[in-house]
Amino acid sequence: MLTGPIVIGVDGSTEAAKAAAFGVKFAELLGSRCQLVHAVPDTWSVAAEEIPFDLDQYNREIAEAHRTTTIEALKGHVPDGVLDALDIRMGRTSKVIKQVCVETGAGLVIMGGKKHPILERWLSGSTVHQVLHSIDVPMLVTGPGSTQFTRILAAVDLSYAAGPTIKTAQELADILSADLWVMNVVDSFHNTSMVPLPFDHDELVQRTSKRLESEVWPLIERPETEKVVASGRPADAIAQEVSSWNAALVVMGSHGKGWTERVLLGSTTERLLNNLPAAVLVIPVQRP
């Protein structure tokens, strides 16, 4: 599923340098082209009055300054030829990345993940989240750990997203010569109500296990793949499995939940991106 050029969103941070270094190597493995992209905030785009100077010239000077600082931060991490082709554009990062994806027919976006305070995420959201919600191609967010992805954990549910998630995880495992585990978490449904939930959790685990055996596990084609079933809050259980198995990459399918649902409940994907126990690859899956 990871076909087409790789777009790498970068800035002057160490996280971006790490993401860019991996992206270049991964593009070589895939035989794909990679494109570094840096977005410069357009602070004058909403000016109400006439601006008393040459705005185009000013923006060119800003872009050139950003090019210099970004190249300086990435130098030594990626080849000079890739740096020379660095694409600098004015605008919000999510809009710029989306535009470049459309123009290049990108098959993957890579960005460096950063941890933000909860209040900051609530008020403005992280750049990674904004990009993720604006594009419809797979997105890989590197974390604080290693980018030597020798152990890959695919987290699946019982939905239509399980097939594409397993397929992509297997392709990655083959390309990177990595071990693969496929995991399902039976949600423990933490109940804050005074009324007990009208089902037995053990019965739910049994029913889930039967559906996994008949619907999900047959999708796994690598005979050496380990299958894991856990109970608990999905994001917490996945993070615990990442820690105990020392996985470097989590592959997940995104169902494209609406904004209201994300605010009220939060999605497992967003919780993992907030904490980044490992690098996270999000596969957008359209409802059939």
Furthest-apart CA pair in the chain: how many Å?
71
Check: pTM over 0.85? Answer yes or no. yes
pLDDT < 50 regions, the chain: 119-124, 258-266
Chain-centroid distance of CA 231 in Å reads 24
Strand partners, 37: 9, 87
| Confidence at residue 254, expressed as pLDDT on a 0 to 100 scale | 83
CA 162 to chain centre: 17
Within the chain, which residue ranges are assigned CATH 3.40.50.620? 1-142, 145-288
pLDDT reported for residue 257:
52
- For residue 144, the model assigns a pLDDT of 86
Run of H or E including 247: none
What's the confidence (pLDDT) of residue 180?
Answer: 97
Helix orientation angle between 268-275 and 234-245, rounded to the nearest 10 degrees: 50
C-alpha distances out from residue 169 to 70, 165, 250, Å: 32, 6, 9
* Short-list 183, 152, 185, CA closest to 168: 152
Amino acid identity for residue 149 in this structure:
F
User: How many angstroms separate the CA atoms of 125 and 120, rounded?
Assistant: 7
What's phi and psi for 117, nearest 5 deg? -60, 150
CATH architecture for residues 145-288 = 3-Layer(aba) Sandwich (3.40)
For residues 282 and 110, give the distance between their C-alpha atoms in angstroms, rounded to a whole number.
10
Q: Which CATH number fits domain 1-142: 3.40.50.620, 2.60.40.1220, 3.20.20.10, 3.40.50.720?
A: 3.40.50.620
Looking at residue 171, its pLDDT comes to 94
DSSP E strand boundaries for the chain: 6-9, 34-40, 87-90, 108-112, 139-142, 151-156, 179-187, 226-232, 249-254, 279-284
